[in-house]
Structure 1
Amino acid sequence: MAFLPITKEEMLARGWDAPDFVLVTGDAYVDHPTFGTAIISRLLEHYGYHVAILSQPDWKTDRDFQRFGKPKLAFLVNAGNIDSMVAHYTVARNRRKTDAYSPGNRPGLRPDRAVTVYSQKCKTLYPDVPVIIGGLEASLRRFAHYDYWADKVHPSVLVDSGADLISYGMGEKQAIEIAKRLLDGEPVASITDVRGTCYLVPTRDYRPGPAVECPSYEQVCADKRAYALSCRKQQDEQDAVRGKRVIQRHGNQILVQNPPMPPLTQKELDEVYELPYERTYHPCYEKVGGVPAIQEVEFSITHNRGCFGACNFCSIAFHQGRAVTTRSEESVLREAKLLTQNPHFKGYIHDVGGPTANFRHPSCKKQEKAGLCPGKKCLAPKACPALQVDHREYLDLLRKVRALPGVKKVFIRSGIRFDYLMEDPDDTFFRELVQHHVSGQLKVAPEHCTARVLDCMGKPHIETYLAFQKRFFKLTKEVGKEQYLVPYLMSSHPGSTLKDAVELALFIKKNHLHPEQVQDFYPTPGTISTCMFYTGLDPYTMKEVYVPRTSKEKAMQRALMQYFIPKNKPLVLEALKLAGRTDLIGRGENCLVWGPAPEAPQRKKTDAKRGKYPSKNKPEHRRGKRR
């Protein structure tokens, strides 16, 4: 099966006079099922629609947007696999020098806030053509949201972009339903009842009905408590079983979010992942070195979606949802066999995972009928008593994949929830994980070590990780291997004071860790942690949360995590003094860094005359004389 057309010549060669849809994306065109553009375009093709791909168009001119002419049904717009601002800027707001989703790793091939820029261009050139926006950037910006890069609250991306609809979440079912209704001649303005979509309606035309109303855009701009309340309501209704319609006023318009679309069934998920993908980047990029993002996923398999772990700093719960759905064993095995036929395959499957690799079941039986509990975590701070833990199905799947002819090793790289694993009374999976599925290092994410910060993160307390670590090394020794844990740790998350950062540094030292890269908390739209960062409030308790805001404090927290690097010494010394931990300066076993002794208090000149201190001309105070 050929790639979908990316030029007018390729479109005409297929016998089309015009496409039904032009899919505009901020990424290079990679026809692989880990790319949303590939999934939506192949799914529409499967249902008989003609889709052309407009990849990384030049937004400074009209030419690229006119390449295929006027689409018959709509423009579909996304920024790419990640938010365009995250693709462009570090957490320090410095411009990135590379872009793994662009040909040759070249930066700057998409605009800032790509969804808005692309949509405005489409509407300007073809004002009567519907524009439907989706993907991560649109999905997480569907309500009024704090924008870290502008340091202010922005309205819904639907307001700024001028688009007609947002398809939030994974989007497959929405795409098919919207396409059918457009094909039937229904105007886009009347498509207001599709689950998993958002639309704007003039206040005068809004028909009241059952809905959860968030504080308005104007209110959340003016009042941080209103913003926190809005965040909580949006998060609580992100459930396909019990979620209600949510509205938010924006001036003389009302943003309406329909309830989430139910996740794909196993059969539907199988069908999506078995569409005829080329499974690589378009050959037009070969001359510049290809698209680096394919390297991590080319020999990886996605077996699940959703994550009931729902860490506060992660966008998965607000985008994919907390309900876990999985592909069938047969479907995964068919994909694994397909990988073995790739001429570049060397016998190593890099991952059989997803948002969380070891989730194969819903978190509990109740959630299938009642939905997931609002405002509660399945795993934090402790595992819910109703949690059902079972690794048998996932273990059976891994055994069958690694038994396939041509497969030498099957690794798990997308992340293991160690807290979920520790709840399993049967250690068979743990043992086989250590014996067969670790490529020397296993990445896990304790994130921090102090209870206060972990509670703000929505993570289990550190005792769970320490028990996991102990068990991991015990099993590693038993199977006769030399393997290591690579813990992901985060600095400057809301709740983390300088004293907490010192405790994290001590944890790193005690556990003999040497993190080469340090992850600063990055406030991205749509997460609970970003709400904490902006408001200084926990949206679920409305209690104040300490937030490290200055670049200096962030630098000190980051330096403490790498206290062993010589260039960090001045910052570490300063941080330890500010935290009141000068006991950690010196050559003692527990010290973090060597440095000068803490400075003595300044003495006033009059003190000696008053007899409070020995006179400076006594022998013990002469220059060069030591006591």
Structure 2
Amino acid sequence: MFLPTTRKELDDRGIGRLDVILVTGDTYIDSPFMGVSLIGRVLESNGFTVGIIAQPDTDSDRDISRLGEPRLFWGITGGAVDSMVANYTASKKRRKRDDYTPGGDNTRRPDRAVIVYTNLVRRFFKPTVPIVLGGIEASLRRIAHYDFWSNKIRRSILLDAKADYLLFGMAHAGIVALARVLDQIQGNRLKTDNRPATTPAETQDPVTQIPGLGYISKTPKGIELPAYEAVIKDKNLYIQSFKTFYDNTDPMHAAPLSQAHADRFLVLNPPPPFSTTQEMDQIHDLDFQRAVHPYYRALGHVRAMDTIRFSIPTHYGCYGECNFCAITVHQGRTVRWRSKNSIIAEAQKMTQDKDFKGYIFDLGGPTANMYGFECEKKLKKGACTHRRCLFPTPCPSLSPDHGPQMDLLNEISRLAGVKKVFLNSGIRHDLILMDKQKGRAYLKQVIAHHVSGQMKLAPEHCSPGVLALMGKPGIDSLVAFKHRFDRLCNTLNKKQYLTYYLIAAHPGCTMREMNELKAFTQNALHITPEQVQIFTPTPSTFSTLMYYTRTDPFTMMPVFVEKDPRAKEKQKQIVTRKAGHRPQASYRQKQNPGKFSGKGKKSRHRKK
């Protein structure tokens, strides 16, 4: 049974007033891949009645009012993707298509959806119960942040939206804790008098103790970041603010943070402890329908269902810590995973679906082969503050073990009704090379059984300077991995190919570095890439910090940043142009003429 989204569903279930109403910028897909659905199911499993309003009309009360007003709070999210990223390309051109909208036309998600939906609620419900922000758009914009689309530092989204609270990160535990506190306060209030529903000021003391919560206060708490008014004037202070913020994203040693905005303070409590395997199992064992709600399905096909319907999430988090990626700030840099039994049970349930054809499209997380192992030191003491797990070189304390995922893949593949299990989340190739005991066997198994023609890698670039600014490893491990991959494919007589995600116009990248990348892709990878994207400065990443300040925040040295849209496009075209134009050999090739020569048959590169 779906969570209700219409008045008829409430009437059929005998629900007069919902405890919580969630509003989202995506259509309502009842899947564990969709944050709003997962949060709704978690609340429901803890005894609260929950409804979902998806992509409401913003010009009337037609949608926002159809379920009435919730008893405890409104939950607002922009959806699975930041609304500005969903609506605009890296060149700031309006996207025509949206995978999370019925029919695919990008007409239902407003710019800055979190702010728009909060204003929509306040417009038609005056006064109302607390409004709580969540999801990736709110999470990444929780402090004063650089916004690429307006080209300025914006205030915390909590203040811009004029909401009451913000739950950042995955928020599984925080949303339940908040609902329980507000429920208790309201119950106590009703016992003593008949005053209106709880206001934020009245709930401040108990609510503001919840880990992972952001709120507005008259006084600071914990470490005080440079004020909003200061960071918009001084880029060095903005760098200082972001670095302190980033250093306090690990729950084991994070401190409370506060940041002045005029005469008020944004306060961010430390993140909640990471979910245990048992907690993750409980969440993913909930009764997800893995389908679009009929109310929205009638509006057209939802393209996202093509990939997520028969896919299984196995873990959260990523210790890659690429500087252009926001996973650290949202999911965290500590990987935690579900048990094998829970994942197998989900796969078994999937085989009972009448539309299941035997193919599990993806079994993974942010990085597929991080399932099942973590640094023991990190699990006990938290993430290191002086170095990263994989950059600039892999930390010896991290001991990759692909055995757990190999066992998982084998057992699911043996289930009745399962023909094939694919890994489409992307593979971290340096981890495979690090695993001296099982890395080769793992790669052989993946090539033989779990790749549908292509294996995805994300080297992003080849220039040492650009890679360093990206927080990515050098190309030696990539070349070594390609050789191993090609040899195994030949041994297994498999026509499998590597595809590469590459980035143009990242801070530090000039036309020279793109010519070097072109030479590398031609001479070492033997491809003409098609999957090249122009760097998009998204909120709360180190790469975006570099883009705005033109400074390397780790060395405080100046960094070249390409900001001309036409020049960015030219950078991309250097790499994607077809054969017939041979780029001039780069300096590194001249110094190492044999390194990039390549051997054997030229491989194909197919666009997915």
Q: TM-score normalised to the size of structure 1?
A: 0.88
1:120 partnered with 2:119: yes
Rg comparison, structure with higher value: 1
1:88 partnered with 2:87: yes
Equivalence for 1:269: 280
Deviation string 1:564-606 (CA, Å, 9 cap, x unpaired) is 179xx8xx99xx89x999x9xxxxx99xxxxxxxxxxxxxxxx
> Do 1:74 and 1:131's aligned partners in 2 also have CA atoms closer than 8 Å?
yes
1:106 partnered with 2:105: yes
Out of 544, 548, 555, the residue aligned to residue 534 of structure 1 is 548
Deviation string 1:383-424 (CA, Å, 9 cap, x unpaired) is 012111111111111110111111111110001111111101
1:254 partnered with 2:265: yes
The 1-side partners of 2:325 and 2:516 are apart by: 23
Per-residue deviation, 1:558: 0.6
Out of 561, 569, 576, the residue aligned to residue 575 of structure 2 is 561
> Do 2:501 and 2:531's aligned partners in 1 also have CA atoms closer than 8 Å?
no
1:357 partnered with 2:379: no
Equivalence for 1:547: 561
AA in 2 matched with 1:179 = A
> Do 1:241 and 1:371's aligned partners in 2 also have CA atoms closer than 8 Å?
yes
1:479 partnered with 2:492: yes
The 2-side partners of 1:298 and 1:3 are apart by: 15
1:384 partnered with 2:395: yes
SS of match in other structure, 1:442: strand
Out of 448, 451, 454, the residue aligned to residue 461 of structure 2 is 448
SS of match in other structure, 1:486: strand
Per-residue deviation, 1:362: 5.0
The 2-side partners of 1:104 and 1:360 are apart by: 35
1:518 partnered with 2:532: yes
Deviation string 1:356-390 (CA, Å, 9 cap, x unpaired) is 11113453111112110125221112101211111
Over 3 Å counting, the alpha-carbon distance change for 1:438 and 1:18 in structure 2 is: same
1:322 partnered with 2:336: no
Equivalence for 1:460: 473
Deviation string 1:285-339 (CA, Å, 9 cap, x unpaired) is 3344321111111111111110011111111111000111100000000011111
Higher deviation after alignment, 213-222 or 484-493: 213-222
> Do 1:123 and 1:129's aligned partners in 2 also have CA atoms closer than 8 Å?
no
* 1:401-420 paired onto structure 2 within 5 Å: 401-420=412-431
The 1-side partners of 2:288 and 2:559 are apart by: 46
SS of match in other structure, 1:358: helix
> Do 2:28 and 2:296's aligned partners in 1 also have CA atoms closer than 8 Å?
no
> Do 2:467 and 2:473's aligned partners in 1 also have CA atoms closer than 8 Å?
yes
AA in 2 matched with 1:165 = Y
* 1:125-164 paired onto structure 2 within 5 Å: 125-164=125-164
Equivalence for 2:166: 166
Equivalence for 2:225: 214
Out of 245, 248, 258, the residue aligned to residue 256 of structure 2 is 245
Equivalence for 1:597: none
SS of match in other structure, 2:498: strand
Per-residue deviation, 1:561: 0.9
Out of 444, 463, 479, the residue aligned to residue 431 of structure 1 is 444
SS of match in other structure, 2:273: coil
> Do 1:245 and 1:256's aligned partners in 2 also have CA atoms closer than 8 Å?
yes
SS of match in other structure, 1:524: coil
SS of match in other structure, 1:105: coil
May I ask how many residue pairs the two structures share in their alignment? 571
Equivalence for 1:65: 64
Equivalence for 2:234: 223
Q: TM-score normalised to the size of structure 2?
A: 0.91
Equivalence for 1:613: none
- Give the gaps of 5 or more residues in structure 2: 187-197, 591-595, 598-608
AA in 2 matched with 1:493 = H
The 1-side partners of 2:301 and 2:46 are apart by: 30
> Do 1:523 and 1:533's aligned partners in 2 also have CA atoms closer than 8 Å?
yes
> Do 1:323 and 1:362's aligned partners in 2 also have CA atoms closer than 8 Å?
no
Out of 199, 211, 225, the residue aligned to residue 195 of structure 1 is 211
The 1-side partners of 2:470 and 2:297 are apart by: 41
- Give the gaps of 5 or more residues in structure 1: 584-588, 591-627
> Do 2:500 and 2:531's aligned partners in 1 also have CA atoms closer than 8 Å?
no
Equivalence for 1:22: 21
Per-residue deviation, 1:63: 3.0
> Do 1:377 and 1:458's aligned partners in 2 also have CA atoms closer than 8 Å?
no
Per-residue deviation, 1:141: 0.2
> Do 2:26 and 2:100's aligned partners in 1 also have CA atoms closer than 8 Å?
yes
> Do 2:118 and 2:162's aligned partners in 1 also have CA atoms closer than 8 Å?
yes
Per-residue deviation, 1:111: 1.1
In percent, how many aligned pairs have the same letter?
43
The 1-side partners of 2:563 and 2:418 are apart by: 49
AA in 2 matched with 1:270 = D
Higher deviation after alignment, 43-52 or 514-523: 514-523
Q: RMSD of the TM alignment (CA)?
A: 2.0
Higher deviation after alignment, 211-220 or 166-175: 211-220
Equivalence for 1:348: 359
The 1-side partners of 2:295 and 2:341 are apart by: 34
AA in 2 matched with 1:542 = M
The 2-side partners of 1:362 and 1:160 are apart by: 40
The 2-side partners of 1:264 and 1:127 are apart by: 35
* 1:565-604 paired onto structure 2 within 5 Å: none
The 1-side partners of 2:368 and 2:223 are apart by: 34
Equivalence for 2:184: 184
Per-residue deviation, 1:430: 1.6
Where in structure 1 do 4 or more consecutive aligned residues deviate above 4 Å? none
> Do 2:133 and 2:165's aligned partners in 1 also have CA atoms closer than 8 Å?
yes
Over 3 Å counting, the alpha-carbon distance change for 1:289 and 1:530 in structure 2 is: same
SS of match in other structure, 1:516: coil
The 1-side partners of 2:214 and 2:504 are apart by: 35
Over 3 Å counting, the alpha-carbon distance change for 1:527 and 1:75 in structure 2 is: same
Deviation string 1:419-443 (CA, Å, 9 cap, x unpaired) is 1111010222121111111111101
Over 3 Å counting, the alpha-carbon distance change for 1:451 and 1:40 in structure 2 is: same
AA in 2 matched with 1:502 = N
AA in 1 matched with 2:84 = M
SS of match in other structure, 1:334: helix
